[in-house]
Amino acid sequence: MFQVGDTITYGTQGVCRIVGTEENDLGGDTVEYYVLKPVFDENATVYVPKNNQILLSKMRPVLSEQEALALLHTVQDIETVWTDDDAKHRQEFQELLSCGDRTELCALIKTLSAHQKQQKSKGKHLHINDEAVFKQAKTLLFSEIAFALQTTPDQVEQMFGNRNIV
């Protein structure tokens, strides 16, 4: 499946490098783990058990340069996903964050950016939960695109800003 040295994205951790594998005794059973180091947070370490298919499904190859550029070129055509039902949109937003689909992350970022602008025009702010989701979605997507394009997440945010997305 994945090898030491591979760069992947993992769940809400974002872009990670597989730096090794490790075995630990867990209640008499030996469990083997992938050891991941987030690329944009060198102080963190993530352990993913190789025998847990749910957690392994959150590991996927990072975008290629061509895929990242294609996403940037189509981002303006992606539809927003806002609903006025607070409980429903909070649940949907969490699902979009955890699914890892880059197009869905773009939709989420566009949606929350538009809502933020609307709230600002009324002299208001995003709800704290929406603000946290917005920040996490941008971190996940912008760091992956930055890695693929060999740039920084801040520069990717500028690219989105130039397209009036954020």
Q: Residue 7's pLDDT is what? A: 96
Mind listing the pLDDT tens digit for each residue in 36-54?
A: 999 988 899 999 999 999 9
61 band by pLDDT with thresholds 50, 70 and 90 = very high
Sheet holding 7-10, edge to edge: 46-49, 29-38, 14-26, 7-10, 59-61
Q: What percent of the chain clears pLDDT 70, i.e. is strictly above it?
A: 100
Q: Residue 40's pLDDT is what? A: 86
Q: Which has the higher per-residue pLDDT, 163 or 51?
A: 51
State how far the Cα of 19 lies from the Cα of 36, in Å rounded to an integer: 6
- Domain 7-61, CATH class in plain words: mainly beta
Ranges of each domain in the chain: 7-61, 65-162
Q: Which of 86, 84, 112, 78 has the alpha carbon at shortest distance from 97?
A: 112
Question: Is the per-residue pLDDT at 123 higher than 90?
Answer: yes
The CATH T-level fold of domain 65-162 is: Methane Monooxygenase Hydroxylase; Chain G, domain 1 (1.20.58)
Please state the three-class secondary structure of the chain as a single string: CCCCCCEEEEHHHEEEEEEEEEEEEECCEEEEEEEEEECCCCCCCEEEECCCHHHHCCEEECCCHHHHHHHHHHHHHCCCCCCCCHHHHHHHHHHHHHHCCHHHHHHHHHHHHHHHHHHHHCCCCCCHHHHHHHHHHHHHHHHHHHHHHCCCHHHHHHHHHHCCCC
Residue range 59-87: average pLDDT? 90
Mind listing the pLDDT tens digit for each residue in 99-108?
A: 878 999 999 9
